[in-house]
Structure 1
């Protein structure tokens, strides 16, 4: 059951928040949705799913990215889920650190106790949430996916594995090789255990080694990002990308960091990129 939390009119469209009981995550979840002007049951619109990074909720992108004007112009709905299950019954990092537990779901399906009862963000994003959105809102099943940092990792891995379900993929400052960086290793050990075979299924670098990805991909990375070398490792991804991939685009930007100021600067170009595939020319 959906319960509306808030709504605000913006650039002729509506930004709304809802909660619902998730059968996948076994808790109450919140998400935000932007519906562009003219979206209706008679005129449903395609959807861009946005996955946020560590410590974020559904609110960060909606409040800080400056995406609504361009999304309204392009006729694209945007859906931003929370970044993890939450609630008193949902396990959190026992040390209270930001990079595990609440706000750090890593868009995977956990298999280890105590995480496996709630931490199935991969299945939530791929299956439950789109079904909910397409049932209750004036949108089509035509989708693209994007994200930032941990959410960029999620967008890449989901897009690679489900290229038939998404028209395009983009990412800002993604964690490209989580199996080889401290953030990813901590999360993978907790949620998946020491079986490295399970890790490979949630690692963009490893997936690109074994899967042919035909979906168009756009990645933007700031060169002044403090997490660039230790945590994000885009050079590992670039080393395995098929040079013949006609629709893989990586852009490096001097001076830009990891913040939403960086996202604000290029979100319009990302929305235009997705619009080309969400509204392909006949």
Structure 2
């Protein structure tokens, strides 16, 4: 809501659906101890470690949520869908898109975590949710996935603030771009001078993202 995306979405006749980041109400020990893990950061994966077995946000977004929409909003056609997000949500959007090219027409992201196996946020989350085998981490890493999934035509749009304090150590945007170049995957990384990681950054460029998705969705409407 803070992004102001509603106006552009309404003009394009697009429904916006915003799922949560994590399961709520399970009261798992330690789930709220830090803002970058647990109820604050589910990383849109299916956890395999027993303690976090209910953290299955990947299945929720890809399987459960479309079914819920189909059952409760008859005016929507979930076969005509795109996906985007910010930061951890950008990570989720990119990985879900790359693993489900048949389900989504397009993807975009603001300040996404694109190479989580190589950043502190991702390493903390993946080691706890998925265990110690780093091969299991790669299936939720957009930089690893882009090297394998290059058979799509819609351009991936990424906006990244140049003054984002997380860019160098956590977001690693250029790792994703370099990987995409090696397979000739269509990626547009727009580095925006003077912008950080905040809602103001998103609010400034959100219309571009809505229109980006509308162009991909429109032929199917």
TM-score with structure 2 length normalisation? 0.94
User: Is 1:153 equivalent to 2:153 in the alignment?
Assistant: no
- Tell me the distance in 1 between the aligned counterparts of 2:30 and 2:44: 16
- Tell me the distance in 2 between the aligned counterparts of 1:164 and 1:139: 18
Q: Counterpart in 2 of 1:133?
A: 69
C-alpha change, 1:159 and 1:237, in structure 2 (3 Å) is same
How far residue 211 of structure 1 moved from its aligned partner, in angstroms, is: 2.2
SS of 2:147 mapped into structure 1: helix
- Tell me the distance in 2 between the aligned counterparts of 1:256 and 1:242: 25
CA contact (8 A) 1:160 1:213 kept: no
Q: Counterpart in 1 of 2:50?
A: 113
- Tell me the distance in 2 between the aligned counterparts of 1:85 and 1:172: 23
Q: Counterpart in 2 of 1:231?
A: 170
CA contact (8 A) 1:144 1:168 kept: yes
* 1:28-54 Cα deviation digits (max 9, x unpaired): xxxxxxxxxxxxxxxxxxxxxxxxxxx
- Tell me the distance in 1 between the aligned counterparts of 2:108 and 2:199: 15
- Tell me the distance in 2 between the aligned counterparts of 1:92 and 1:267: 37
Alignment: residue pair count:
218
CA contact (8 A) 2:150 2:185 kept: no
1:1-282 residue pairs with structure 2 within 5 A? 62=1, 64-87=2-25, 89-91=26-28, 93=30, 96-116=33-53, 118-137=54-73, 138-141=75-78, 142-214=80-152, 215-242=154-181, 245=184, 247-280=186-219
More helix by share: 2
RMSD between superposed Cα atoms in Å: 1.7
C-alpha change, 1:203 and 1:280, in structure 2 (3 Å) is same
C-alpha change, 1:94 and 1:130, in structure 2 (3 Å) is closer
SS of 2:181 mapped into structure 1: coil
How far residue 243 of structure 1 moved from its aligned partner, in angstroms, is: 5.8
Gaps of 5+ in 1: 1-61
More strand by share: 1
- Tell me the distance in 1 between the aligned counterparts of 2:51 and 2:137: 18
Q: Which has the larger radius of gyration?
A: 1
